[in-house]
């Protein structure tokens, strides 16, 4: 079955710097890759997603990139702010294939003011 690995498990950056979180997946049939943000004690929230027919997607300060050949995708956060501090989860799915979303283990991001 699908396996998603996420790195690093913890990331600490200075406010204003960029943060990058990387994920790899094992099933080459996966074609949809959402990212979720979970603040301490709160619910996960879908923040951005990308489909396999697109190499990059951007939404204000966050962007996702996808390399299908290498089977890895990344979340980029620019100009980080303290409110970006949270746990971020990547996930992989195969739309239309009866395949359930598989999550990475999460990255705890600390943004130091």
Judged by CB under 8 A, the residue of 13, 65, 103, 110 near other proteins is 103
Q: Which two tokens stand for residue 32?
A: 């949809």
Applying the rule CB under 8 A, the residues between 44 and 63 that interact with other proteins are 44-46, 49
**Is the CB of residue 4 less than 8 Å from the CB of residue 103?**
yes
User: Segment contacting other proteins (CB under 8 A): 11-19, 52-60, 64-72, 97-105?
Assistant: 97-105
65 scored as a contact of other proteins (CB under 8 A): no
Judged by CB under 8 A, the residue of 43, 53, 69, 113 near other proteins is 43
Q: Would you call 49 helix, strand, or coil by DSSP?
A: strand
Nearest to 28 by CA among 72, 65, 78, 74: 72
Judged by CB under 8 A, the residue of 18, 29, 61, 100 near other proteins is 100
Nearer to other proteins, 44 or 68 (CB): 44
Sign of CA dihedral 16, 81, 113, 43: negative
**Is the CB of residue 35 less than 8 Å from the CB of residue 64?**
yes
Q: Please work out the total of residues on this chain that contact other proteins, with binding judged by CB under 8 A.
A: 25
Q: Which two tokens stand for residue 78?
A: 């620019």
* 96 vs 90: CA distance, rounded Å: 19
Binding residues vs other proteins (CB under 8 A):
1, 4, 6, 32, 34, 42-46, 49, 89, 91, 93, 95-96, 98-106
């Amino acid at each position: 079955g699908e396996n998603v690995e996420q790195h690093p498990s913890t990331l600490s950056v200075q406010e204003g710097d960029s943060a990058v979180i990387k994920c790899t997946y094992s099933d080459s049939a996966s074609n949809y890759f959402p990212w979720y943000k979970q603040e301490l004690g709160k619910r996960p929230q879908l923040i951005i997603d990308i489909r396999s027919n697109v190499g990059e997607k951007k939404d204000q300060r966050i962007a996702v990139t996808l390399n299908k050949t290498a089977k890895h995708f990344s979340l980029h956060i620019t100009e980080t702010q303290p409110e970006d501090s949270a746990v971020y989860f990547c996930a992989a799915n195969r739309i239309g294939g009866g395949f359930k979303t598989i999550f990475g283990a999460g990255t705890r991001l600390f943004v130091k003011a």
